[in-house]
Amino acid sequence: MIFKQWVILVMLGCSAFLTGCSYQFAGSGSLPSGMMRIYISVIQNKTAEVGIENYLTDSLINEFMLRRKSMLATQENADGVLTGSIMSISDTVIAHSTQTTSIQSRVSIAVNLKLTDTHGKVVWAVNGINANQAYNVLSSDRTITDQNKKAAIQVLSKRLAQTIFNRLTDDF
């Protein structure tokens, strides 16, 4: 009997805590400044790595399509425009088979973003959102290593898009 009352008390306390904190799932909020629909511009690439802007732009659009298609609009019909730049990409060796032969590397990308309203006023901005992904290095075949790096960039672009969507719709 006492155990049952204790369980009920704990459950009430947890529910009060969760509702008091306004707990919500990531990405379930709204866009900043009451915007309803945004246009996602092609992300600029300020690195020497050709084509990575396409992966990130496509991943962002896909993330919005999957989670809240109604938030996307053409530039003419949008309440705001999301723009950004890939500021850096770097490779770091993370595993060696010998002192001079690497077998795994990590690619990292850092992005700056801003959301502006139809008058050009910045309503949301973030610098230095980053993600990284490991990939296998085959020292005897540069083509396979490049393919592995490309696949890693695609994976981390999707992860960045998820992070950006969640931060953009945080409601904080």
For residue 149, what pLDDT is reported?
97
Is 53 a member of any domain? yes
What is the number of domains present in the chain?
A: 1
For residue 37, what pLDDT is reported?
96
- Under 8 Å between Cβ of 40 and 74: no
Is 11 a member of any domain? no
Mean pLDDT of residues grouped by 10 in the chain (172 residues)?
A: 59 53 54 92 97 97 95 96 98 92 96 96 96 95 96 97 94 61
Domain that holds residue 70: 30-168
Model confidence pLDDT, tens digit, residues 134-160: 999 998 899 999 999 999 999 999 999
For residue 155, what pLDDT is reported?
97
CATH number at residue 120: 3.30.160.150
**What angle, rounded to 10 degrees, do the helices at 52-68 and 142-168 form?**
40
- Tell me the C-alpha distance between 74 and 57, whole Å: 15
For residue 19, what pLDDT is reported?
47
pTM: 0.80
For residue 167, what pLDDT is reported?
94
For residue 100, what pLDDT is reported?
87
